[in-house]
Amino acid sequence: MKDKNIPNNYNSLSLEELTDQANKMIEDLENQKDLENSIEKYQDLLKLNNIIEKKFQKDVKNISEKTKENILKINSKKNAKRIK
């Protein structure tokens, strides 16, 4: 799914909020008796799942970058102490 197809309200939601929304969609699908209506809802759930995956990957990347920066800072402090 391309980012331009993502509903605006999804962009502002956290991973937890998106997951809650997906859980509600799953619950609705489980209670659905008319399969014709289920197809569209299932497709919406798949789109939401893709959004959650992309947001999760972005968060993981940010955490990884911050961790690397912190490790470099710690190492540079240790090296500075050794030189003194």
pTM of the model: 0.69
Contact indicator for 55, 1 with CB cutoff of 8 Å: no
DSSP codes joined into one string, the chain: --GGGS-HHHHTS-HHHHHHHHHHHHHHHHH---HHHHHHHHHHHHHHHHHHHHHHHHHHHHHHHHHHHHHHHHHHHHHHHHH-
Q: Using one digit for the tens of pLDDT, what is the confidence trace for 44-77?
A: 999 999 999 999 999 999 999 999 999 999 988 8
